[in-house]
Amino acid sequence: MSTVPESKTNGETTLSSEDEGHTSLAKRLAGANTLWIGVVLLLLIAVFGAIRPDAVLTTFTLQTTLVETSVLLVLAVGMTFVIITSGIDLSVGSVLVFSGVTSAMTMNAMSGGDATKAGWGVVWVGLLVALVSGAAWGLLNGLLIAKSKIPPLIVTLGSFGAALGAGQLISNGSNVAGVPEVLGNTLGTGTYLGIPNLVLLAAVVAAIGALLLTTTRFGRYTYAIGSNEEAARRVGISVTGHLMKIYLLAGVLAGLAGFMAMAYFRVASVTGHDTDNLNAIAGVVLGGTSLFGGAGSVVGTVLGVFIPAVLRKGFVILGVNVYWQPIAVAIVLVAAVWFDQSRRRARNQR
């Protein structure tokens, strides 16, 4: 392997150091999808900004848009890994609810029924409970998908219903109040240098996710399994183990998202998360991750989740009927998938 290249034979154009120039070009082409999504996002902001500069380009508008999207972003980071393995996780919104409920109820139980005045010790336990709750559902998904070979769509459709049902059973079908004030005031609505803490946490999660995916062996295996599961298995990659870790990761992040949502709304809500899974999937796919697996990026996902958010905010500010938002998102989504498909077809034609 490490032998120095010997003399060239039969005059073929072989690799040489001059192809360094191709690297940046090839990388740019590969990132073209992400680039386009970024352009679309900037265009949207520019158009809304040009129409109502006074309302759109304010700190308040930007802050609220970011905060409202940060919980979804954490779900979407996990979803990116799942979709790159050519899987899907429909359960994230329900796991979010379940984790919020178990976390809030544990904190209440530790504080004699109402945790509003509880201290940091209780909050940390609450965080742990949320993460473990998410991990448990993720592990269950992973076991059924990787070990029992049941299609991810069916498994997570099951846990989508089961996790929500379990959450409502535990909370008797109602929202759980009594979230500690220290949590709400810091993680929920606090800021650091003008940036909401919730947004900072989501940014850290996204950054770690991006590094994990692009620089580590874990990320490389994620792409390999999504690209050709059989090839990955034949070179000795533990496909079963890796898929378990992927769904575990998605579950843990859903648990964290549940904790974040609870901190922000100061209540563990059992309603309003029915379409979180679809919103996360839409963000991931808009960001250029392929539903066929093997390709995608967290950076794309970050841009992707903001497109629906910016559309919604823009429509509200412009006074457009807000019901246009899902229609607009649907059009962009279908266009994005069509674009991805035709690009792949063109590439595979050789």
By the criterion CB under 8 A, which residues form the site for another protein? 1-6, 9-10, 12-16, 19, 22-23, 26-27, 30, 215-218, 220, 223-224, 226-228, 230-232, 234-237, 293-295, 344, 347-348, 350
Which residue matches tokens 């950054």? Answer: 207
Minimum Å gap between C-beta 11 and another protein is 10
On whether the CB atoms of residues 92 and 155 are closer than 8 A, the answer is: no
- Name the residue nearer to another protein (CB basis): 149 or 347: 347
Query: Residue 36, exposed/middle/buried by CB under 10 A (0-12, 13-18, 19+)?
Result: middle
Minimum Å gap between C-beta 12 and another protein is 4
Cα torsion angle, 70, 71, 74, 75, sign: negative
Minimum Å gap between C-beta 292 and another protein is 9
- Name the residue nearer to another protein (CB basis): 19 or 54: 19
- Name the residue nearer to another protein (CB basis): 3 or 59: 3
On whether the CB atoms of residues 260 and 71 are closer than 8 A, the answer is: yes
Which of these, 74, 52, 56, 54, lies nearest to 65 by C-alpha position? 56
Minimum Å gap between C-beta 302 and another protein is 21
Q: Which two tokens stand for residue 15?
A: 């690799």
- Name the residue nearer to another protein (CB basis): 14 or 321: 14
Minimum Å gap between C-beta 61 and another protein is 38
**Alpha carbon 31 to chain centroid distance?**
19
- Secondary structure class of 196 (helix, strand, coil): strand
- Secondary structure class of 181 (helix, strand, coil): helix
Which residue matches tokens 């976390």? Answer: 103
Minimum Å gap between C-beta 336 and another protein is 18
- Name the residue nearer to another protein (CB basis): 20 or 54: 20
- Name the residue nearer to another protein (CB basis): 218 or 265: 218
User: ∠ CA 26-27-32 to the nearest 5 degrees?
Assistant: 95
